[in-house]
A and B are shown apart, each in its own frame.
Chain A
């Protein structure tokens, strides 16, 4: 039985069944335990907002601007790699200076409290009389479990509790949120966020919160209702109250809207949301009419991202005779969607989609994107569709990327290939050249056997490539761990393996390489050496030990260091002798 069999059953729904089946078959137990551990380490849908995220951008200035605009001011730090704590300045000498904050005007103090969490801001009420009510003017309101309780809501745990307990928690949250909004005395709210499992039974309260946000001229609204159900049966979803946005005499201000797990159905040409510049939908049920209405109602929409939504087999993105202003489009894991037609998107520059839709993302009368991200999928059946079709397997998908993608999207300059769970053993040799590709990012790479072949194939297919980034999630078997210890302790790589460098193609333009998630597996050293030797014009190689899974929409998680402790000096010692004099090797 191949390891791939294990992937056939749907992760979310069948994990328990699968787990008990596998444990009973001792042969596979070990493999299952390794995979389970890895899955828990790297989950694309872990607890929300609990691990620092980093927005690395789109390489397309207009979309980078939208990305920055979408971030609330207290999350702007996401635009920089998370670094160690800023140096704390020592307290000043009490005898010499009076309260310096006493000289700062109240609106500056308010701006400062807007940049810290709501919970921390509330504790500033005790600093002095002047500070007592400042937290109540914060321009960022985040109503979530972290602020209410001080710790994250562990959704997996929450899901499995009895309904009565869940109802009690929800009631408690709603009362707390109402309390916070009653205390609020500010004039404007820039970003308003709700994150908690709530459904239509608390609809009236959520409606009232949204009305409050609208009254405060909110620009960024995020209603993130978490899915706390164990099964996929019909849920009583909260209906997003779009009607609140069209208020007589007032022009709508809202620019960025993000919805998760509720229902949205706006009428055609609805003007309440016509100021929207970005819309992000997750776990929302969409049909053709729905999507058409959204696009006609949001003529300025530049960023449209739908993930895990229920969609029909085919979807047409068009707003009738008006052209779409879309610049960035993302379609991720929408079932049973197979085909998307994009009409009149004259400025589309970035498209992210799933590999199962290869060849089925059709641009009609639209621009050619310069940035593309394709997400390969593991071979698994979807249990949600009526047709239990087997998804195209990763092998076919990789073959498509290397062989046909360049024909479909000839102008692509930045390509991201995300492979969260795919296992591929063999790659085809049929390559089509990406004539304009300058930047390539291979994310979530888990292919060990074909790692070097795959890298070499991409290098061959992209002769004008200047930057290569690889985010490695290579599982390390016991065998490898032993080998790795030997290499690291002996600092002796040359004995280990001679890579047949001549078998792999050389690259004439590649200047920058970044390898992330480096866990010093033997194959990773091989990869580094291959790139060092075969990229003739290479100027810089950066090796980062942190794993950073890609989340879509230009964001990745900074998950921190992989579990094994590896010393940087040892890695440098090993790679050092292999580095040509023209290359600058940096280990982060």
Chain B
């Protein structure tokens, strides 16, 4: 096996034209990037038009931390917990990026974070948290409540 592979650098460009250079080992934490590397498409800068610079930096930080062998289990847990201390806009951006780049551990964490936000909340509260517009007429809403009456006790 060629040893030069382990030192290969992958170049990424975010939607706002910021470039990032990371080691291949870090980049392949993303299944999407891994596929590109395996298919030989990673020689030039890879454009990521749907991920902005700020979010991309966060994602790469996560990947770097998970590749670093000097980090202990406890440190990693703390890092992951602090990592998700974000405001909502960033959280969704991260969610979209983790989904697009397919970084499994990160995606699971962010999904859990968002799920925790709505656990135990009434629908009105959830609407407020996510700013969801209620596009049902009162009759339609009543119909749904009846349809799923068992859940609305």
Is A89 in contact with B117, judged by CB distance below 8 angstroms? yes
Q: A99-B133, A128-B132 are in contact. Are A92 and B111 (CB under 8 A)?
A: no
A86 interface residue (CB < 8 Å to B): yes
Main secondary structure of the interface of B (DSSP, over half): helix
Within the complex, the shortest CB–CB distance from A234 to chain B, in Å, comes to: 34
Select one of B91, B99, B119, B132 contacting A120, CB under 8 A.
B119
User: Which of B116, B122, B126, B131 has the most chain A CB within a 10 Å cutoff?
Assistant: B131
Is B136 in contact with A128, judged by CB distance below 8 angstroms? yes
Q: How far is the CA of A127 from the CA of B130 in the complex (A)?
A: 10
Residue of A nearest to B118 (CB): A116
Within the complex, the shortest CB–CB distance from B15 to chain A, in Å, comes to: 14
Q: How far is the CA of A245 from the CA of B119 in the complex (A)?
A: 35
Is A127 in contact with B115, judged by CB distance below 8 angstroms? no
Of the candidate stretches A4-12, A100-108, A441-449, the one touching chain B is A100-108
Is B113 in contact with A86, judged by CB distance below 8 angstroms? yes
Q: How far is the CA of A309 from the CA of B13 in the complex (A)?
A: 60
Within the complex, the shortest CB–CB distance from B84 to chain A, in Å, comes to: 8
Select one of B119, B129, B151 contacting A91, CB under 8 A.
B129
Q: How far is the CA of A116 from the CA of B136 in the complex (A)?
A: 23
Within the complex, the shortest CB–CB distance from A180 to chain B, in Å, comes to: 9
Q: Which residues of B contact A91 (CB under 8 A)?
A: 128-129, 131
Within the complex, the shortest CB–CB distance from A167 to chain B, in Å, comes to: 20
Is A128 in contact with B119, judged by CB distance below 8 angstroms? no
User: Which of A87, A116, A176 has the most chain B CB within a 10 Å cutoff?
Assistant: A116
Is A125 in contact with B144, judged by CB distance below 8 angstroms? yes
Q: How far is the CA of A101 from the CA of B116 in the complex (A)?
A: 15
Q: How far is the CA of A87 from the CA of B117 in the complex (A)?
A: 8
A111 interface residue (CB < 8 Å to B): yes
Q: Which residues of A contact B145 (CB under 8 A)?
A: 126
Q: How far is the CA of A76 from the CA of B116 in the complex (A)?
A: 12
Q: Quick one: which of B102-153 are within 8 Å of A by CB?
A: 108, 111-120, 122-123, 126-136, 141, 144-145, 147-148, 150-153
User: What are 29 residue pairs bridging A and B, where the CB atoms are less than 8 Å apart in the complex?
Assistant: A76-B108, A77-B112, A85-B116, A86-B117, A89-B117, A91-B129, A92-B88, A92-B89, A99-B130, A99-B133, A100-B130, A102-B132, A103-B96, A112-B115, A116-B118, A122-B148, A122-B151, A123-B123, A124-B126, A125-B144, A127-B130, A128-B127, A128-B132, A128-B135, A128-B136, A131-B132, A148-B150, A149-B153, A176-B150
Within the complex, the shortest CB–CB distance from B41 to chain A, in Å, comes to: 24
Q: Which residues of A contact B33 (CB under 8 A)?
A: none
Is B132 in contact with A89, judged by CB distance below 8 angstroms? no
A232 interface residue (CB < 8 Å to B): no
Residue of B nearest to A89 (CB): B88
Q: How far is the CA of A91 from the CA of B131 in the complex (A)?
A: 8
Is B111 in contact with A108, judged by CB distance below 8 angstroms? yes
Q: A86-B117, A108-B95 are in contact. Are A127 and B132 (CB under 8 A)?
A: yes
Is B127 in contact with A127, judged by CB distance below 8 angstroms? yes
Residue of B nearest to A100 (CB): B92
Looking at chain B, what size class is its interface with the partner chain? Answer: 35 or more
Within the complex, the shortest CB–CB distance from B147 to chain A, in Å, comes to: 8
Within the complex, the shortest CB–CB distance from A101 to chain B, in Å, comes to: 5
Q: Which residues of B contact A104 (CB under 8 A)?
A: 92, 95-96
A129 interface residue (CB < 8 Å to B): yes
Select one of A99, A111, A150 contacting B132, CB under 8 A.
A99
Q: Which residues of B contact A100 (CB under 8 A)?
A: 88-89, 92, 130-131
B interface residues, Cβ below 8 angstroms from A? 77, 85, 87-89, 91-92, 95-96, 99, 108, 111-120, 122-123, 126-136, 141, 144-145, 147-148, 150-153
Residue of A nearest to B147 (CB): A125
Select one of B99, B118, B129 contacting A105, CB under 8 A.
B99
Given contacts A105-B99, A120-B118, A128-B134, 19 further A-B contacts (CB under 8 A): A89-B117, A91-B129, A97-B131, A100-B89, A100-B92, A101-B92, A103-B96, A111-B111, A112-B115, A119-B151, A122-B151, A123-B123, A125-B148, A126-B136, A127-B130, A128-B132, A129-B135, A148-B150, A150-B153
Select one of B77, B87, B96, B133 contacting A89, CB under 8 A.
B87
Q: How far is the CA of A395 from the CA of B144 in the complex (A)?
A: 62
A288 interface residue (CB < 8 Å to B): no
Q: Which residues of A contact B128 (CB under 8 A)?
A: 91
Select one of A77, A86, A125, A127 contacting B134, CB under 8 A.
A127
Q: Which residues of B contact A101 (CB under 8 A)?
A: 92, 130, 132
Select one of B91, B126, B153 contacting A127, CB under 8 A.
B126
Q: How far is the CA of A176 from the CA of B115 in the complex (A)?
A: 25
Within the complex, the shortest CB–CB distance from B125 to chain A, in Å, comes to: 9
Within the complex, the shortest CB–CB distance from A32 to chain B, in Å, comes to: 39
Select one of A92, A103, A116, A149 contacting B119, CB under 8 A.
A116
Q: Which residues of A contact B150 (CB under 8 A)?
A: 122, 148-149, 176
A581 interface residue (CB < 8 Å to B): no
User: Which of B89, B96, B150 has the most chain A CB within a 10 Å cutoff?
Assistant: B150
A98 interface residue (CB < 8 Å to B): yes
